[in-house]
């Protein structure tokens, strides 16, 4: 679920983007807490990709709001 492309986000409505953002934040929190508790993460690049995707979502969401 972590990978959302910019093109996909531009085609979505703002409400759908907010739902995806909430899902991404929950997934990030789970991965961070799992890696902190276990010490070793099964996929260390996952956290980085989630952070980048969240930033991408926030950027596109703000641009869409400025357009409207």
What is the reported pTM? 0.86
**Domain positions in the chain:** 6-67
CA distance 39 to 7: 35
Q: What are phi and psi of 48, to 5 degrees?
A: -65, -45
CATH of domain 6-67: 1.10.287.310
Kindly report, residue by residue over 4-14, the tens digit of the pLDDT.
Answer: 888 998 999 99
Q: Which string of DSSP letters, residue by residue, matches 6-53?
A: HHHHHHS-HHHHHHHHHHHHHHHHHHHHHHHHHSS-S-THHHHHHHHH
Mean pLDDT of 42-68: 90
């Amino acid at each position: 679920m972590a990978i959302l492309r910019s093109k996909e986000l531009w085609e979505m409505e703002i409400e759908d983007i907010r739902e995806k953002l909430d899902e991404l934040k929950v997934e990030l929190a789970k991965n961070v807490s799992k890696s902190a508790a276990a010490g070793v993460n099964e996929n260390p690049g996952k956290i980085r990709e989630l952070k980048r995707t969240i930033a991408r979502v926030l950027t596109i969401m703000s641009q869409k709001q400025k357009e409207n």
